[in-house]
Amino acid sequence: MENLVFTTFADEKSATDGLKKLQELDQIGDIVIYNVALIKKNSDGSVTLLHHEGPEASNQPAAGAAVGSLIGLLAGPVGMGIGFLTGALVGAADEDDTEDVTQQFLGKADRQLAPGSLAVVMDVEEDTTFMIDSYMAAYQGVTLHSPIEDEYDEADREQWKELNAEIDESEAALASAVEKDKAQIKAKLDALKEKKVKLTEQMKENASKREKHWHDKIQAFDKKVRQANDDTRKKLKTKQEELQQKLEKSRKAIANAFN
């Protein structure tokens, strides 16, 4: 499963040692890191990016650049990590959805990230949360895990369900309304139906972006597979095939969407 993983450390040595261990686990295929950032919370509450690796690295601020000004736009200090590592998915939802989906996770992570402490933020494929938790405990790292695409899928489904319920309620109200109230109810119903048209297009766009997200992840495996030894290659191929199945499922969902 693909998770956003956030691990806080009390000091820089623990954080850098923890990051090295995570990179070792990635090299042997026990986990697959798509993107990883090392950040530090400063005494004034701002956050500095110390290190970043991943497909989007060339588009990010240089390591060491102060990026505190970005944090307020992304719902707190950890929002920088969300934006760096899952930008494609965050961009697939509107601002309200993004806030709803990430608020609880960001709140927990923000409380963990005290001034002077550091955090490793990763977009990672892991079979179980236990592996990263157990290895990071050796460096006094405290870890949070949050599913990525599942959260956004659920947000879309809930929004769609709620809007349909509102439309059904308004249609029922219109059918039983007295004449003087019909115009107002009809106007509300028309507005809801217009909103549904827009939401339909947005959800299709969201699904397409998630499809691209999975496609990019599958491609990220190719380089790892080529460089791996036989045992690691087998583990990586298994994970890659699981992602391919997700991609095919996503393609079918898009093809059949809203029919």
- Average pLDDT score over residue span 90-109: 51
> What's residue 152's pLDDT?
56
- Does pLDDT of 170 surpass 70? yes
Domain regions of the chain by residue span:
2-148, 153-247
Per residue in 147-161, pLDDT (tens digit) is: 765 555 666 677 888
Query: What pLDDT, on the 0 to 100 scale, is given for residue 101?
Result: 44
Mean pLDDT (whole number) for 237-258: 74
Calculate what percentage of the chain has a pLDDT beyond 90: 27
pLDDT tens for each residue of 184-215: 999 999 999 999 999 888 877 777 777 777 77
Quote the pLDDT of residue 15.
Answer: 97
SS3 annotation, 200-258: HHHHHHHHHHHHHHHHHHHHHHHHHHHHCCHHHHHHHHHHHHHHHHHHHHHHHHHHCCC
CA distances from 38 to 14, 25, 41, 129, 208 (A): 12, 17, 10, 19, 30
Average pLDDT over residues 111-136: 89
Q: Per-residue pLDDT for 230 more than 50?
A: yes
Question: Does residue 86 surpass a pLDDT of 60?
Answer: no
Taking alpha carbons only, the member of 114, 130, 141, 131 closest to residue 16 is 141
Predicted local distance difference test score (pLDDT) of residue 146: 80
Residue-averaged pLDDT of the chain:
75
Low-confidence winner among 65-79, 100-114, 137-151 (lowest mean pLDDT): 65-79
Distance in angstroms (rounded) separating the CA atoms of residues 155 and 94 = 10
Answer whether 22's CB lies under 8 Å from 31's CB: yes
* Residue range 27-41: mean pLDDT, rounded: 86
More confident residue, 134 or 95: 134
Q: What is the dihedral of CA 205, 206, 212, 217, to 10 degrees?
A: 180
Of 252 and 44, the structure prediction assigns the larger pLDDT to 44
Average pLDDT over every residue of 231-257: 76
Instruction: Supply the pTM of this predicted model.
Output: 0.62
Q: For 56-71, what is the mean pLDDT?
A: 39
* Per-residue 3-state assignment (H helix, E strand, C coil) for 81-143: HHHHHHHHHHCCCCHHHHHHHHHHHHHHHHHHCCCCCEEEEEEEECCCHHHHHHHHHCCCCEE
* Helix, strand, coil fractions of the chain, as percent rounded to 5: 65, 15, 20
171: pLDDT confidence band, cut at 50, 70 and 90? very high
Looking at this protein, which amino acid is placed at residue 221? F
User: 76 vs 134, which has greater pLDDT?
Assistant: 134
Question: Which of the two residues, 107 and 136, has the higher pLDDT score?
Answer: 136
